[in-house]
Amino acid sequence: MSQTNTERLRIGALVAVIIGLCMFPFFARPYLVEVAMIFFIWIILAQSYRLIVTVHDWQLYHVVLYGVGAYTSGMLAKNFGFPVFLAIPMGGVMACLFGVMITLILLRTTGWSFYIATFGVAELIRLTWLKFRYPFGGSTGIISIPYPPVTGGIDFSDSIPYYFFSLVIMLVILYLLYRIEKSRIGDAFKAISMDPGLAASTGINIPRHRLLACAIGSFFAGIAGGLLVHRLGAVDPKLFDIHTMLYLLIWVVVGGTNTFWGPIIGVSVMYTAFELSRPLIQIRPAFFGLAIIFVLLFVPGGIESLISKVAAQWQKLRGVPATEVG
């Protein structure tokens, strides 16, 4: 099988998935449409998280930056009368600023203490929302956040238009991140994630690239927050606690972070399991805890590495010399 053939197959599959996603809301129950919107938000979170953790370091503040985007966008729209479609990118900008600030504060901390310090700093931001009833609403959070208005004759507060709105945003973000991955900057990112010492010796400015990765990833996390808050119409600190962060971490690692598709596979599989296990809500965390321990011990590359292994076996069976998959 030639490379172009594989490429064609991949593009075909992608088009089929997009067509499927476009048909989905017209056939699914309303509840599933809502679930799908949250799924898109998780895909954005997972993909932007992968960018940061592969280039910079593992961190536990991503979900809180998603919260920063949600709070900023919600408060701008509610208290200052910003139009929703302007408030969402402003949430992204704010999350980006916070992400860069945290990175700068913890620039000299490395390894295990860096992971823990990011947890602490994230908790400081989250506790600020919890502590100040004005303007953040304390533990009950903020309610009656405006829905998007009727634009061009389409009522975006309805579920199907908002579904398409979030679908388009997700696809645009995925496209941008894919282009970044395939660009020169993406090559530099990959070099840094594989061997920082060697990357530095070839003239790549590591601190600048790491900061750039944090800025881009945090910006998209903030956008995801804006998407969430204008659908829920409410926001509270509980949404962004360490449990949510651990779920994101687990799903991304279960999927695998070596290629662009890993986190998407991870979130697709694990989010489905998450929704299906709703009746077992009490013991559900243990399932994900055991899943991550199992994956780390026995499948270190995540689900994506299994898929590429199977694909390599398949090519071998067909008598074609194995090519680099992914």
Name the residues that contact other proteins, by CB under 8 A.
58, 105-113, 115-117, 119-121, 123-124, 127-128, 130-131, 242, 246, 249-250, 253, 282-283, 285-286, 288-293, 296-297, 300
Contact yes or no for 235/79 (Cβ under 8 A): no
Sign of CA dihedral 157, 161, 166, 169: negative
Shortest distance (Å) from residue 270 CB to other proteins: 12
Shortest distance (Å) from residue 133 CB to other proteins: 11
Shortest distance (Å) from residue 51 CB to other proteins: 16
**CB nearer other proteins, residue 217 or residue 302:** 302
Tokens 């172009």, located at residue: 4
CA-CA distance, 304 to 325, in Å (whole number)? Answer: 11
Shortest distance (Å) from residue 283 CB to other proteins: 5
**CB nearer other proteins, residue 110 or residue 151:** 110
Shortest distance (Å) from residue 71 CB to other proteins: 17
Shortest distance (Å) from residue 197 CB to other proteins: 12
CA-CA distance, 173 to 159, in Å (whole number)? Answer: 21
Largest CA distance in the chain: 68
Tokens 């075909």, located at residue: 12
CA-CA distance, 67 to 10, in Å (whole number)? Answer: 34
**CB nearer other proteins, residue 104 or residue 198:** 104
Contact yes or no for 149/143 (Cβ under 8 A): no
CA-CA distance, 252 to 47, in Å (whole number)? Answer: 8
**CB nearer other proteins, residue 89 or residue 138:** 138
Shortest distance (Å) from residue 207 CB to other proteins: 14
**CB nearer other proteins, residue 168 or residue 290:** 290
CA-CA distance, 231 to 222, in Å (whole number)? Answer: 15
In this structure, what DSSP letter does residue 108 have? T
What is the identity of the amino acid at 186?
G
Shortest distance (Å) from residue 131 CB to other proteins: 5
The C-alpha angle 58, 62, 67, rounded to 5 degrees, equals: 165
Q: Of 286, 219, 282, whose CA–CA distance to 247 is shortest?
A: 286
Conformational region of residue 302, where left means phi above 0, alpha means psi within -120 to 50, and beta covers everything else: left
Q: How many CA atoms lie within 13 A of 264 on its CB side?
A: 12
